[in-house]
């Protein structure tokens, strides 16, 4: 049985449809106008997940709750001319929060990725990523003063020293590495036996992403990767990563955990990986389909069977 080769645009947590209003958000008078528009809606997320509606086809719960004030408004964007704002559930009094959770439920972003439609899961990732950043960056990294929201949520400004802070996105490379039709998979410390995935790691300062691929594979397995080719990317706001998916070749060798991050690392045959995708390999449990890891593994198999 051949599997579909997914296109990168179908990646979970992508496909958000809002107009980000990059120009309009710089105009405070326009933001005030958008806030006063009866068509404006607000979606919410907290540190433990996003607020979604009930029912069989859930979406983010669109409420008429107003942001605390125009200068604290976080504008996600525009949909048919109407504004969609974001409010942090963690910032609300318990009574307001309880009222909201009467109308919907808070689910983890991972669960939202599995339950919501493609574009709605993309919106959930955007919402969570932006609020994660505001929640964790209230103080100026330069002078320590409290910062204030600017550009309707796309930056924060320090009133004391004037530094402007922009939302963080932390690049992470994740890669299939192959040698003669076999795939390199590892098991991180703490994962149950049988649960393996492709290797991954944060990009270091002063490093290209291609260099990170080679370094991470060497550090985690002792295997020398070469010729990394970019495949696709996926936002991964847990809390602020951007996953950059690569495929790389190697000259083989016996993989061995180098730095203690992996408890197990070895080569798997095409057959073993394919059986695991179809749930027919009790010795290999692959990561869930919401992750780019699963996509890279499935695509590796699909391209070899096409
Ligand atoms: Zn400052």
Give the separation between CA 27 and CA 33, rounded to whole angstroms.
10
Spatial contact of 65 and 40, defined as CB atoms under 8 Å apart: no
Give the separation between CA 122 and CA 109, rounded to whole angstroms.
10
Residue 97 has a pLDDT of: 93
**Residue 84 within any structural domain of the chain:** yes
pLDDT, averaged across the chain:
94
Parent domain of 260: 170-305
- The Å distance, Cα 251 to ligand 1 centre, comes to 50
pLDDT digits (tens, 9 = 90+) for 167-221: 999 999 999 999 999 999 999 999 999 999 999 999 999 999 999 999 999 999 9
What is the CA angle 1-174-204, rounded to 5? 175
**Residue 264 within any structural domain of the chain:** yes
> Is there a single domain that holds both residue 47 and residue 76?
yes
pLDDT digits (tens, 9 = 90+) for 5-45: 445 557 889 999 999 999 999 999 999 999 999 999 999 99
- The Å distance, Cα 27 to ligand 1 centre, comes to 23
> Is there a single domain that holds both residue 85 and residue 184?
no
Task: Kindly state the DSSP code that residue 260 receives in the 8-state scheme.
Answer: S
CATH number of 184's domain: 3.90.79.10
> Is there a single domain that holds both residue 95 and residue 190?
no
Spatial contact of 82 and 37, defined as CB atoms under 8 Å apart: yes
**Mean pLDDT along residues 60-80:** 92
Whole-prediction pTM: 0.91
> Is there a single domain that holds both residue 196 and residue 159?
no
Spatial contact of 71 and 39, defined as CB atoms under 8 Å apart: no
- The Å distance, Cα 137 to ligand 1 centre, comes to 12
Domain limit, last residue, from 136, 154, 181: 136
> Is there a single domain that holds both residue 201 and residue 256?
yes
- The Å distance, Cα 156 to ligand 1 centre, comes to 10
**Residue 1 within any structural domain of the chain:** no
- The Å distance, Cα 139 to ligand 1 centre, comes to 8
Query: Total domain count for the chain?
Result: 3
**Residue 3 within any structural domain of the chain:** no
**Residue 107 within any structural domain of the chain:** yes
- The Å distance, Cα 160 to ligand 1 centre, comes to 5
């Amino acid at each position: 049985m051949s599997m579909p080769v997914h296109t990168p645009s179908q990646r979970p947590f992508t496909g958000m449809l809002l107009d980000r209003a990059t120009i309009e958000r710089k105009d405070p008078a326009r933001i005030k106008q958008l806030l006063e528009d009866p068509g404006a809606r607000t979606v919410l997320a907290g540190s433990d997940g996003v607020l979604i509606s009930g029912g069989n086809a859930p979406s983010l719960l669109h409420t008429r709750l107003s942001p605390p004030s125009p200068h604290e408004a976080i504008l996600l964007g525009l949909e048919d001319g109407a504004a969609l704002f974001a409010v942090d559930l963690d910032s609300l009094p318990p009574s307001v929060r309880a009222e909201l959770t009467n109308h919907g439920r808070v689910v983890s972003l991972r669960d939202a990725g599995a339950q919501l439609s493609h574009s709605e899961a993309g919106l959930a990732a955007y919402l969570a990523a932006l609020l994660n950043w505001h929640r964790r960056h209230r103080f100026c990294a330069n002078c320590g003063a409290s910062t204030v929201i600017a550009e309707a949520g796309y930056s924060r400004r320090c009133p004391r020293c004037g530094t402007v802070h922009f939302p963080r996105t932390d690049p992470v490379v994740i890669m299939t590495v192959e040698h003669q039709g076999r795939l390199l998979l590892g098991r991180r410390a703490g994962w149950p036996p049988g649960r393996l995935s492709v290797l991954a790691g944060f990009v270091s300062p002063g490093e290209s992403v291609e260099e990170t691929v080679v370094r991470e594979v060497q550090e985690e397995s002792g295997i020398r990767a070469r010729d990394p080719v970019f495949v696709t990317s996926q936002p991964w706001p847990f809390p602020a990563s951007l996953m950059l998916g690569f495929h790389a070749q190697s000259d083989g060798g016996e993989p061995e955990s180098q730095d203690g991050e992996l408890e197990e690392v070895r080569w798997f045959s095409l057959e073993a990986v394919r059986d695991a995708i179809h749930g027919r390999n009790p010795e290999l449990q692959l990561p869930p389909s919401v992750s780019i890891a699963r996509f890279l593994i499935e695509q590796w198999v699909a391209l070899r069977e096409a």
